[in-house]
Amino acid sequence: MDLDGVRTFVAVVDGGRFRDAAAVLGVTQQAV
């Protein structure tokens, strides 16, 4: 797993939803 994958995982856990993680990361929900 690369650093982007770890950041994505942490954003999902912190936000609780893929949609929220996508908004924080500045990507689409599908990219998460």
Task: Give me the pLDDT at residue 1, please.
Answer: 73
Which structural domain range is residue 14 located in? 1-32
Task: Give me the pLDDT at residue 29, please.
Answer: 94
DSSP per residue, 9-29: HHHHHHHSSHHHHHHHHTS-G
Q: Residue 8 above 80 pLDDT? A: yes
- The stretch 5-28 carries a mean pLDDT of 94
- Total domains, the chain: 1
Dihedral angle of Cα 14, 20, 22, 24, to the nearest 10 degrees: -70
